Amino acid sequence: MARGDDDDELSFSARLDRDRLDRRADGGDESRVADFDAARQRRERARERALRRSTGAFPAVPETPSEQSGGTDDSLYDAPAPNSRGRRRSERQGDETESPSGGYARFATRDANTSDEPPREGADAYPRMPVEETAAERESRLVDERPRRSRHAAPPEAGDEPPARRTRRERDELSDTAAGLVRSIRTEDDAMPEVAYVPVPTQPALSCSGLRKSFRGGLVLQDLDLEVAEHEVVVLIGASGSGKSTLLRCINLLEEIDDGTILLDGEHITDPRVDPDTVRRKIGMVFQSYNLFPHLTVLQNITLAPERVHRRRRAEVEAEARTWLERVGLGDKAREYPDRLSGGQQQRVAIVRALVNSPRLLLLDEVTSALDPELVGEVLSMIKDLKTEGMTMILATHEMAFARQVADRVCFLDGGRILEQGPPERVFGSPQHPRTRQFLRRIIEAGRL
């Protein structure tokens, strides 16, 4: 190419540099070379000042339109530039830009700018300044074949001074680092911490899934799922033989399930390696028949299992037992034998026995069924008090009026399945499933609701 044509294509500064190199090659006079050097240094200082004034950041410098990938900041969000794994960045970032936290791209832009402040609204968050490559720079780039830095090299620290001059390769890498931040967040093998929005899951107190239980070939629980939230009171209703008691006994590990899992506070309690006694310390259970030992006093009945099974100190358990007995109005019965108590009182003692270990969950299986009607009220009022105190409970009952009062959620069981569940007003007020309607119609006809 003729020198004239070349001149047209080169900027003024590039021409200066080229001439200087030509003169060096020709052994030209030293003072003129010094002038050129001084001019070049002034020019570079001016460029540095301009860079610092703009954002204090190192600019990404796309050299040609094809390298600009859209040429705006949006390219960091959705420019379809292929990434290192062959997928387009826009594909990999689709979910990022929809992130409720505002997306990763904004985070990456902040880091790329090495600023502690988020970019101002409407401001060019990642400005690109047109910088011409001088002939000297080009020469230096060709000579300087340093090994390429890691794609995931750390971004420049805030407060770093921009270097006096960067080769095109280095500028590419800076640009790449910003885009690389976006990419690396989504890269499994990268050490960058995940900055994903992860909603904190609320873990149920109890979670049963896919429970199956059969007796002598007869399926009693059929792929039953049930979750109970902390402080929730779930009432199981259903015809006799529908599986209510079996479900409660499986939860308390009194029956071994055939299939499924039960988690208590996220712990897999149906894992065969789990000690059932440890689980039962966390789950209190009260049965229809009170099951008090007739030869032991009320206090001894309450403290027996905590002392013998759970190895708790007698003094501590006795103090707790007495506190509970006072609260339920049986403080003066501690030294009595069960046969000196009414059915309602015995059942209240049985409930205290289940509470003395401060269980996580209380299971109540038809606790009023064996009581004379006039004694039912005192037990039900004790259960209401427990609900008020936030005890998490699952009750199986035929007392529909009580279920309606105390339940947060009613589950209707039929043939070992939960056919319908919901708030008591809805299940009792407008049952959806024909079997629920049929069951409740019979209850109403019997005058029990």
Ligand X SMILES: Nc1ncnc2c1ncn2[C@@H]1O[C@H](COP(=O)(O)OP(=O)(O)OP(=O)(O)O)[C@@H](O)[C@H]1O
Stretch that binds ligand X, among 110-118, 199-207, 239-247, 303-311 (CB under 6 A): 239-247
Residue 82 phi/psi, 5-degree rounding, is -65, 140
When asked if residue 215 is in the footprint of ligand X (CB under 6 A), the reply is yes
Residue 343 CB contacts under 8 Å (≥ 6 apart), including other chains: 290, 370, 371, 372, 375
Mention every residue, 6+ apart, whose C-beta is less than 8 A from residue 175: 60, 61, 62
Comparison of 214 and 300: residue with beta carbon closer to ligand X: 214
243 is an interface residue for ligand X by CB under 6 A? yes
For ligand X, the binding residue among 245, 345, 392, 421 (CB under 6 A) is 245
Contact flag: residue 234 with ligand X (CB under 6 A): no
Span 375-414, contacts to ligand X by CB under 6 A = 396
In single-letter form, the type of residue at position 249 comes to R
**Of 238-246, 317-325, 374-382, 403-411, which part binds ligand X (CB under 6 A)?**
238-246
Nearest distance in Å: CB 222, ligand X: 11
What x-and-dash track marks residues 341-380 binding ligand X by CB under 6 A? -------------------------x--------------
Under rule CB under 6 A, residue 207 binds ligand X: no
Determine contact, residues 156/65, Cβ cutoff 8 Å.
Answer: no
Are the C-beta atoms of 106 and 182 separated by less than 8 Å?
no
Query: Candidates 70-78, 136-144, 150-158, 242-250 — which segment interacts with ligand X by CB under 6 A?
Result: 242-250
User: 99: exposed, middle or buried (C-beta count within 10 Å: 0-12, 13-18, 19+)?
Assistant: middle
Residue 148 and residue 172 in contact, taking contact as beta carbons nearer than 8 Å = no
Interatomic CA distance for residues 205 and 195, integer angstroms: 29
How far apart are alpha carbons 376 and 134 in whole angstroms? Answer: 96
Contact (Cβ atoms closer than 8 angstroms) between residue 220 and residue 416: yes
- Is residue 244 involved in binding ligand X (CB under 6 A)? yes
256, 205 Cβ separation under 8 angstroms: no
Residue (109 or 245) nearer to ligand X, CB: 245
Token representation of residue 149: 């830095």
Binding of residue 197 to ligand X (CB under 6 A): no
Q: Which stretch binds ligand X (CB under 6 A): 22-30, 94-102, 244-252, 342-350?
A: 244-252
CA atoms within 13 A on the CB side of 315: 0
User: Which distant-in-sequence residues (6+ apart) come within 8 Å of 96 by Cβ?
Assistant: 103, 104, 105, 182, 185, 186
Stretch that binds ligand X, among 136-144, 196-204, 243-251, 437-445 (CB under 6 A): 243-251
Choose, by CB under 6 A, the member of 59, 155, 204, 238 that binds ligand X.
Answer: 238
Residue 55 in contact with ligand X, rule: CB under 6 A: no
Instruction: Tell me how far, at minimum, the Cβ of 376 lies from ligand X, in Å.
Output: 16
CB of 314 to ligand X, least distance (A): 34
- Asked whether position 246 contacts ligand X by CB under 6 A, the answer is yes
Shortest distance, CB of residue 244 to ligand X, whole angstroms?
4
Please say which residue, 247 or 330, places its beta carbon nearer to ligand X: 247
Any contact of residue 435 with ligand X (CB under 6 A)? no
Under the binding rule (CB under 6 A), the answer on residue 242 touching ligand X is yes
Nearest-angstrom CA–CA distance, 332 and 334: 6
Applying CB under 6 A, among 82, 102, 163, 241 the residue interacting with ligand X is 241
Q: Which is nearer to ligand X, 108 or 413 (CB)?
A: 413
- CB contact at 8 A, 220 and 214: yes
Binding site for ligand X (CB under 6 A): 215, 220, 238, 240-246, 366, 396
